[in-house]
């Protein structure tokens, strides 16, 4: 009956909104018990009326049947990796190259943490999540759509009224430090192998053929850019792309900024470096991107890496002593 279908749609929207509050804003507005009640109400409606179940219903976050193997996906826009810099002199050289190639005396950069997880791409058609893949070799990755549906930080619908016809979101799947520690305790108790670090735990959890195993691991996601886009008016800067991603209910880094020149870059590097141990997730550096997208075009890519962006890495973390 229609009022049941209306109630089911209402519940789906409310649950997805609370996921946004919790994972993208880190500011839930209802207690977990109330969230669970909404989910149970939707589950009971879908059990009574199976025709109400949709693939992207919040009740399907527990994972569907496993696949025998992952199929391959070729990225419409390659997912290229960043060049690395390890000291201030290399960053000064990066900034100099950007100034010389653009003829500008000072460059504005968008800066953000470099998540140490697994790069993935999410495709949204008319605002609905339809496909997701790993980075692979940058040109071809594995189709892990069913596994990504279980990650509650990844919205199944973009949270805007007029979504683009197609939008590819690039980002990182990761496991929070606390969830990693708890997982290893559980692994040890089960007699299963422990993971060396959160990055391996995230990769191992995402690349499971059985989505129900992925669903049992607490994975998180942060968006950091865009791939292909059809029917979307690209904003003029990277910082504004990030604002729009958050408006669309995608989680993004909280510690991001827009800075001027090499001094702004190095200040951010030190600021994040001193806060690194307190962050809830592992990072292996910070990322600097020329903010203006027209300048990014001008600077382009050398070989396979962009000339307009660079990762500034921290010294490798000494292995945690027991
Ligand atoms: N891993 C990470 O946090 N990344 N990776 C990029 C990236 C890779 C290629 C272009 O941008 N940006 C950020 N914040």
What's 305's DSSP letter?
E
- Ligand 1 atom showing the smallest separation from residue 112 Cα: 14
Helix, strand or coil, per DSSP, at residue 129? strand
| In the predicted structure, residue 320 carries a pLDDT above the cut 60 | no
Which of 75, 114, 120, 306 should be mutated for ligand 1, with most atoms under 8 A from CB?
Answer: 114
Query: Which residue lies with its CA nearest to atom 12 of ligand 1?
Result: 224
Task: Return the H-helix or E-strand segment holding 14.
Answer: helix 2-19
Length of the chain (residues): 322
| In the predicted structure, residue 305 carries a pLDDT above the cut 90 | no
225 lines ligand 1 (CB under 6 A): yes
- pLDDT reported for residue 322: 44
Distance CA 318, CA 311 (A): 20
Residues 6+ apart with CB under 8 A from 147: 63, 132, 206, 207, 208, 211, 214
114 lines ligand 1 (CB under 6 A): yes
Cα diameter, the chain: 68
Distance CA 132, CA 110 (A): 26
120 lines ligand 1 (CB under 6 A): no
Higher-pLDDT residue of 206, 63: 206
Which residues is 290 bridged to in the sheet?
109
Residues 6+ apart with CB under 8 A from 295: 98, 102, 104, 107, 308
Q: Check: CB of residue 30 under 8 Å from CB of residue 18.
A: yes
| In the predicted structure, residue 224 carries a pLDDT above the cut 80 | yes
pLDDT tens for each residue of 19-74: 999 999 999 999 999 999 999 999 999 999 999 998 889 999 988 888 899 999 99
Q: List residues with catalytic annotation.
A: 114
Query: pLDDT grade, residue 319 (50/70/90)?
Result: low
| In the predicted structure, residue 128 carries a pLDDT above the cut 70 | yes
The model's pTM:
0.91
Distance from residue 309's CA to the centre of ligand 1 (Å): 9
Tokens of 1: 């009956």
Residue with tokens 């690194």: 276
Distance from residue 114's CA to the centre of ligand 1 (Å): 6
- pLDDT reported for residue 303: 65
pLDDT tens for each residue of 142-170: 999 999 999 999 999 999 999 999 999 99
pLDDT tens for each residue of 3-34: 999 999 999 999 999 999 999 999 999 999 99
112 lines ligand 1 (CB under 6 A): yes
Distance CA 113, CA 82 (A): 13
Helix, strand or coil, per DSSP, at residue 54? coil
What's 318's DSSP letter?
P
- Ligand 1 atom showing the smallest separation from residue 119 Cα: 1
Distance from residue 167's CA to the centre of ligand 1 (Å): 17
Distance CA 15, CA 35 (A): 7
Distance CA 113, CA 115 (A): 6
């Amino acid at each position: 009956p229609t009022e049941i279908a209306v109630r089911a749609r209402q519940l789906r929207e409310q649950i997805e909104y609370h996921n946004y509050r919790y994972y993208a804003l880190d500011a839930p507005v209802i207690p977990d018990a109330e969230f669970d009640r909404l989910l149970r109400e939707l589950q009971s409606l879908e059990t009574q009326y199976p025709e109400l179940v949709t693939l992207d219903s919040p009740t399907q976050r527990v994972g569907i049947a496993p696949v025998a193997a992952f199929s391959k996906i070729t990225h419409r826009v390659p997912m290229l990796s960043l060049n690395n810099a390890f000291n201030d002199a290399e960053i000064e050289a990066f900034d100099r190259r950007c100034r010389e190639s653009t003829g500008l005396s000072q460059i504005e950069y968008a800066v953000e943490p470099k998540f140490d997880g697994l790069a993935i791409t999410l495709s949204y058609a008319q605002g609905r999540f339809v496909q997701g893949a790993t980075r692979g070799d940058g040109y071809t990755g594995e189709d892990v759509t069913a596994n990504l549906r279980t990650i509650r930080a990844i919205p199944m619908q973009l949270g805007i009224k007029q979504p683009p016809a197609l939008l590819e979101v690039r980002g990182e799947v990761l496991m929070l430090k606390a969830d990693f520690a708890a997982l290893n305790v559980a692994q040890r108790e089960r007699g299963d192998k422990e993971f060396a670090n959160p990055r391996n735990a995230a990769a191992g959890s995402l690349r499971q053929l059985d989505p129900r195993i992925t669903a049992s691991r607490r994975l998180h996601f942060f968006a950091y850019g865009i791939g292909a886009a059809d029917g979307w008016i690209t904003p003029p800067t990277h910082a504004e792309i990030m604002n729009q991603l958050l408006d669309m209910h995608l989680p993004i880094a909280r510690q991001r900024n827009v800075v001027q020149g090499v001094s702004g870059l190095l200040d951010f590097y030190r600021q994040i470096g001193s806060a690194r141990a307190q962050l809830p997730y592992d990072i292996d550096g910070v990322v600097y991107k020329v903010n203006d997208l027209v300048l990014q075009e001008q600077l382009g890519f050398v070989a396979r890496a962009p000339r307009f962006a660079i990762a500034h890495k921290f010294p490798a973390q000494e292995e945690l002593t027991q």
